[in-house]
Amino acid sequence: MTDDQFFNELQTSLGQAIDHAKDEPSKARTKTVEIKELAHFTSEEIKSLRLQMNLTQKSFAALMGVSIKAIESWERGTNQPSDSARRLLEILRNEPHVVEDQGIISV
């Protein structure tokens, strides 16, 4: 690729990025998707999921990236998981083996 070709491709890409940022039609590769509403979890459902995965509160906390105190409060119902934690809980509920498949935990 010559310097001129590289510059032209870079200029085109930057133009597309600017159009996209302005919500103007462009040739940038994007698509509109529908995102499912966040699931709600009861304290019992959270504890049940943890037990189904055969994890201690400590291990589940490490998996979720939160403190043990957070897991305890979720399971007591005194606090609710954040939106990102709720999304992860939903993924784990639907595909509990994903953490093993991805090498996140080993048994």
Distances (CA, A) of 96 to 26, 32, 49, 81, 102: 39, 28, 9, 18, 11
Question: How do residues 67-80 score in pLDDT, each as one tens digit?
Answer: 999 999 999 999 99
Check: CB of residue 17 under 8 Å from CB of residue 28. Answer: yes
Distances (CA, A) of 12 to 16, 22, 26: 6, 16, 10
Q: Is the pLDDT of residue 46 over 70?
A: yes
Question: How do residues 58-106 score in pLDDT, each as one tens digit?
Answer: 999 999 999 999 999 999 999 999 999 999 999 999 999 999 999 998 8
| Dihedral (CA of 60, 66, 69, 71) sign | negative
